[in-house]
């Protein structure tokens, strides 16, 4: 009797093991052969490639063709805020700065106040912001045919010195009619942002003593036309030297009329 029970138990174990193996084989056949072959008919892949992808022998999914991206990689900002760079910006060569500024005067004015709306005012701008933009023009992270040629001819000492030169200049009377300041919706957007749209406050980075990146530029009193052009360039992805795509993310959520009103608001600030 005991012998019969032992034999029955061994037979049950063999049949159980065989059943498990069969289920695994069927599942593998379905998952790695049948389904990929069926999917290949609608995706344009040949069955062999689909099976190899399912087995992990080739990259990609058997459900679709691999997307092909022909876009060229864009250069990114190469500026590193080392202790040495920061110290040098605090101790520039004044004579070199004055001399280098002569190259900039044709577009940005002798006192850093531009004569044309397409060029930004430089007087009183952050030295860190000017230094970063010059570096980005030089490396190609920011595209502009005129500025690229100028920046590429500048040495590190000249970029540091001219950045501090303009940062030290006193602002003149810019856009005396501060029309944008009377726009309550934009004042609120600049001060508090719009959490519903994931828009941070402009003042979070650009405000006085804000905790934004060290290279954040001063916006108050800047050219209205220039500010609007930069917001539009960020929104379209045409300007891409903002680290972590901060400004592209912000500008992309703004409405066209909001960009125009923000530019007018900051141009009127004192």
Residue 3 lies in a domain: no
Please give the Cα distance from 42 to 34 (Å, whole number): 14
Q: What is the pLDDT of residue 227?
A: 97
Domain membership of residue 71 (yes or no) is no
pLDDT tens readout for residues 51-83: 777 666 666 666 656 566 676 777 889 999 999
Pair 97, 159 in one domain: yes
Classify the C-alpha dihedral 17-18-19-22 as positive or negative: positive
Q: Say how many domains are in the chain.
A: 3
Q: What is the CATH number of the domain that holds 161?
A: 1.10.760.10
Q: Which SS3 state, helix, strand or coil, does residue 110 take? A: coil
Q: Are residues 196 and 220 in the same domain?
A: yes
Same-domain status, 146 and 198: no
Per the DSSP assignment, residues forming a β-bridge with 194 are 199
Q: Is residue 256 domain-shared with residue 196, that is, in the same domain? A: yes
Domain final residue, candidates 123, 139, 167: 167
If DSSP codes are grouped into helix, strand and coil, which group holds residue 69? coil
Q: Is 3 helix (H, G, I), strand (E, B) or coil?
A: helix
pLDDT of amino acid 62: 61
pLDDT beyond 60 at 173: no
Query: In this structure, is residue 78 part of a structural domain?
Result: no
Backbone angles phi, psi at 205, to 5 degrees: -110, -40
Percent of the chain with pLDDT strictly greater than 90:
62
| pLDDT tens digits, 151-167 | 999 999 999 999 999 99
Task: Tell me whether residue 46 is in a domain.
Answer: yes
Overall average pLDDT of the 72-100 stretch: 92
Q: At what angle do helices 94-108 and 156-167 cross, to 10 degrees?
A: 70
97's tokens: 């700065």
The model's pTM = 0.72
Which tokens hold the place of 151? 């920046």
Per-residue pLDDT at 192 exceeds 90: yes
- Which of the residue ranges 32-46, 93-107, 176-190 would you say has the lowest mean pLDDT? 32-46
State which of 110, 143, 167 marks the end of a domain. 167
The total of other beta-carbon atoms located within 10 Å of residue 241's CB is 23
Residues 156 and 98 in one domain: yes
Cα–Cα distance for residue pair 263/31, rounded to 1 Å: 57
Q: Are residues 245 and 204 in the same domain?
A: yes
Shared-domain flag, residues 255 and 217: yes
Domain shared by 263 and 185, yes or no: yes
pLDDT over 60 at 110, yes or no: yes
Does residue 223 share a domain with residue 155? no
Q: Would 247 be classed as within a structural domain?
A: yes
pLDDT at 174 over 70: no
CA–CA separation, 228 vs 224, rounded Å?
A: 6
Give the residue numbers spanning the domain of 183.
179-268
| Sign of the dihedral defined by the CA atoms of residues 135, 239, 244, 125, in that order | positive
Distance linking the first and last C-alpha atoms of the chain:
103
Q: Rounded CA gap, 221 and 252, in Å?
A: 23
Do residues 210 and 102 touch, judged by C-beta distance below 8 A?
no
Q: Is residue 152 part of a domain?
A: yes
Q: Note whether 197 and 159 are same-domain residues.
A: no
Cα separation of 45 and 24, whole Å?
26
Shared-domain flag, residues 264 and 183: yes
On whether residue 230 sits in a domain, the answer given is yes
- pLDDT attached to residue 208: 78
Position 195 in a domain? yes
Given 167, 199, 222, which residue is the final one in a domain?
Answer: 167
Query: Residue 227's closest CA among 130, 114, 105, 117?
Result: 117
Mean of per-residue pLDDT scores for the chain: 85
Compute φ and ψ for 29, nearest 5 degrees.
Answer: -65, -45
d(Cα 93, Cα 255) in Å, to the nearest integer?
43
Cα angle 162, 166, 171; round to 5:
175
């Amino acid at each position: 009797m005991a012998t019969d029970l032992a034999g029955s138990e061994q037979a049950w174990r063999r049949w159980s093991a065989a059943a498990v193996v069969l289920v695994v084989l069927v599942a593998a056949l379905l998952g790695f052969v049948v389904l990929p072959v069926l999917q290949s008919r609608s995706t344009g892949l040949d069955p062999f490639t689909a099976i190899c992808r399912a087995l992990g022998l080739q990259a990609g999914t058997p459900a679709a063709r691999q997307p092909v991206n022909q876009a060229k990689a864009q250069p990114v900002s190469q500026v590193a805020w080392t202790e040495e760079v920061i110290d040098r910006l605090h101790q520039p060569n004044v004579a070199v700065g004055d001399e280098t500024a002569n190259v900039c005067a044709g577009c940005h004015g002798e006192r850093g106040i531009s004569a044309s709306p397409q060029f930004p005012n430089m007087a009183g701008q952050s030295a860190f912001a000017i230094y970063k933009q010059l570096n980005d023009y030089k490396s190609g992270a920011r595209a502009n045919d005129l500025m690229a040629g100028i920046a590429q001819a500048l040495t590190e000492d000249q970029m540091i010195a001219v950045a501090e030169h303009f940062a030290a200049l006193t602002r003149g009377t810019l856009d005396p009619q501060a029309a944008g300041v009377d726009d309550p919706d934009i004042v609120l957007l600049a001060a508090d942002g719009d959490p519903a749209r994931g828009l941070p406050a402009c003042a979070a980075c650009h405000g006085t003593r804000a905790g934004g990146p060290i290279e954040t530029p001063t916006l108050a009193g800047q050219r209205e036309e220039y500010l609007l052009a930069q917001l539009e360039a960020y929104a379209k992805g045409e300007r891409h030297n903002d680290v972590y795509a901060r400004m592209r993310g912000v500008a992309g959520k703004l409405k066209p009329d909001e960009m125009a009103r923000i530019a007018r608001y900051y141009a009127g600030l004192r």
